């Protein structure tokens, strides 16, 4: 770390650097392509900062370990790819329910099950939203450049701390494995948020008592506050509230409200040449880069194209998409999957703009020319 500097870093290394700058001092994980470099980096660097790296026996345990570390007051992270992300879902749900801040990085690979380890996809978008069971909110961020991967990771920790919830970073094999030049800022120049700590007398402390903000003050294990938590829906004391419909409703509502009432703070969307656009390409992650290149080419040919790039995927930026859909003719959604965010965009647009989908699921990144061709089809009304 040290003062600001210029470096050539991979997407994975940038995520790990960002985490370190955000104050992450505990990493538990199980190595998996294409995410392993994040583990490697943390194993090398964390001890130098008084942090801990632990390679767990699997991803279930990795997720459990970072929850434990966070409850003891540390900022913690794990990283994985699809197969490991599946294993983490149960404990991810626990972290959401018990309101434990932490960051989970899923570097998306191709295909269901083991899929193909070394090639990119964006097929875990819905898993990031609904992979763990039950009504729950999700904060999921998707960077598209190495520099953005750094800053998105810092932001992921800030959001996790501020809203006491796990934050998921969706990268993909393209972004994580490529290297770019990055200006690593002086860590002192970054805005770093830390969870709100309990200040009441330990005897009076109720771990899930809303202080009016929807986010309860946190007492680290070891701080002298004795408290209980569980994945069972609980009341403000942390003990199960299974027989009380009112208490159940209050807790579930609070989980959602703390996110939904702060959408302006959480949602981040980049817009490119959207002011006069007739066609919008909606893309995120590494595919957004191809979308930008395609939009430039289309503009050169006189087609009015803009790009909307959600960096916050969940909660879904409905307001931005609604606004855009009212002033454009068509929206072309490009994803490296069979159509995941596309469905959400379509639902949000409610027929106000024509919808088109370009999905590529062959382990290759989508080339700008392919998007350009689709844009031309949309422009001439051919594309369905």
The reply on whether position 180 binds another protein by CB under 8 A is yes
- The phi and psi torsions of 53 (rounded to 5 degrees) equal -115, 135
Nearest distance in Å: CB 364, another protein: 9
Nearest distance in Å: CB 177, another protein: 7
Give the tokens for residue 179.
């290297």
Q: CA nearest 163: which of 27, 252, 260?
A: 260
Nearest distance in Å: CB 158, another protein: 26
Closest CB to another protein among 266 and 294?
A: 294
- Cβ atoms of residues 328 and 355 within 8 Å: no
Closest CB to another protein among 144 and 330?
A: 144
- The phi and psi torsions of 67 (rounded to 5 degrees) equal -65, -45
Among 365, 372, 374, 383, binds another protein (CB under 8 A): 365
**Binding span for another protein by CB under 8 A among 43-51, 170-178, 225-233, 257-265:** 170-178
Contacts with another protein, 291-310, as mask; x by CB under 8 A: -xx--x--------------
Contacts with another protein, 9-48, as mask; x by CB under 8 A: ----------------------------------------
* Cα 60–Cα 145–Cα 67 angle in degrees, nearest 5: 20
The reply on whether position 116 binds another protein by CB under 8 A is no
Q: CA nearest 26: which of 51, 55, 57?
A: 51
Three-state secondary structure call for residue 267: coil
Closest CB to another protein among 300 and 380?
A: 300
Task: For the segment 239-258, give every residue that binds another protein (CB under 8 A).
Answer: none
Continuous segment of H or E residues that includes residue 157:
helix 146-163
Q: Is 382 exposed, middle or buried (0-12, 13-18, 19+ CB in 10 A)?
A: exposed
* Those residues with Cβ within 8 angstroms of residue 364's Cβ, 6 or more apart along the chain or in another chain: 119, 120
**Binding span for another protein by CB under 8 A among 98-106, 261-269, 289-297, 325-333:** 289-297
Among 3, 8, 49, 326, binds another protein (CB under 8 A): 8
Q: Is 234 exposed, middle or buried (0-12, 13-18, 19+ CB in 10 A)?
A: buried
Among 155, 162, 195, 289, binds another protein (CB under 8 A): 289
Could you tell me how many residues of this chain bind another protein (CB under 8 A)?
Answer: 18
State how far the Cα of 155 lies from the Cα of 161, in Å rounded to an integer.
Answer: 10
State how far the Cα of 115 lies from the Cα of 109, in Å rounded to an integer.
Answer: 7
State how far the Cα of 118 lies from the Cα of 107, in Å rounded to an integer.
Answer: 10
The reply on whether position 110 binds another protein by CB under 8 A is no
Closest CB to another protein among 16 and 64?
A: 16
Closest CB to another protein among 289 and 346?
A: 289
Residue with tokens 């505990």: 26
Q: CA nearest 257: which of 199, 315, 312?
A: 315
Closest CB to another protein among 12 and 337?
A: 12
Closest CB to another protein among 138 and 177?
A: 177
The reply on whether position 178 binds another protein by CB under 8 A is yes
Q: Which residues bind another protein (CB under 8 A)?
A: 6-8, 174, 177-181, 286, 289-290, 292-293, 296, 365, 367-368
């Amino acid at each position: 770390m040290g003062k600001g500097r210029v470096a050539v870093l991979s997407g994975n290394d940038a995520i790990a650097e960002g985490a370190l700058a955000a104050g992450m001092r505990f990493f538990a994980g199980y190595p998996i392509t294409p995410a392993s470099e994040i583990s490697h980096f943390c194993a090398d660097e964390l001890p130098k900062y008084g942090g801990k790296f632990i390679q767990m026996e699997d991803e279930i345990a990795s997720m459990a370990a970072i929850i434990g570390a966070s409850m003891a007051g540390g900022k913690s992270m794990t990283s994985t790819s699809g197969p490991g992300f599946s294993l983490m879902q149960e404990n991810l749900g626990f972290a959401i329910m018990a309101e434990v801040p932490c960051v989970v990085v899923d570097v998306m690979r191709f295909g269901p099950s083991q899929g193909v380890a070394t090639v990119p996809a964006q097929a875990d978008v819905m898993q990031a939203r609904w992979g763990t069971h039950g009504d729950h909110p999700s904060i999921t961020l998707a960077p598209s450049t190495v520099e953005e991967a750094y800053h998105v990771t810092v932001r992921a920790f800030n959001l996790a701390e501020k809203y006491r919830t796990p934050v998921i970073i969706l990268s993909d094999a393209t972004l994580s494995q490529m290297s770019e030049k990055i200006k690593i800022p002086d860590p002192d120049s970054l805005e770093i948020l830390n969870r709100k700590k309990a200040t009441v007398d330990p005897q009076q402390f109720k771990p899930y008592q809303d202080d009016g903000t929807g986010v309860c003050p946190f007492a680290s294990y070891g701080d002298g506050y004795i408290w209980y938590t569980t994945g069972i829906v609980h009341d403000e004391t942390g003990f199960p509230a299974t027989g009380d419909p009112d208490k159940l409703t209050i807790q579930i509502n609070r989980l959602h409200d703390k996110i939904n009432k702060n959408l302006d703070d959480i949602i981040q969307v980049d817009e490119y040449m959207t002011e006069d656009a007739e066609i919008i390409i909606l893309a995120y992650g590494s595919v957004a880069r191809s979308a930008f290149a395609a939009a430039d080419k289309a503009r050169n040919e006189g087609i009015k194209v803009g790009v909307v790039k959600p960096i916050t995927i969940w909660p879904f930026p409905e307001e931005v998409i609604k606004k855009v859909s009212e002033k454009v003719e068509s929206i072309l959604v490009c994803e490296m999957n069979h159509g995941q965010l596309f469905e959400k965009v379509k639902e949000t647009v409610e027929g106000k703009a024509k919808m088109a989908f370009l999905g590529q699921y062959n382990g290759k990144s989508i080339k700008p020319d392919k998007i350009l061709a689709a844009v031309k089809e949309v422009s001439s009304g051919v594309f369905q």
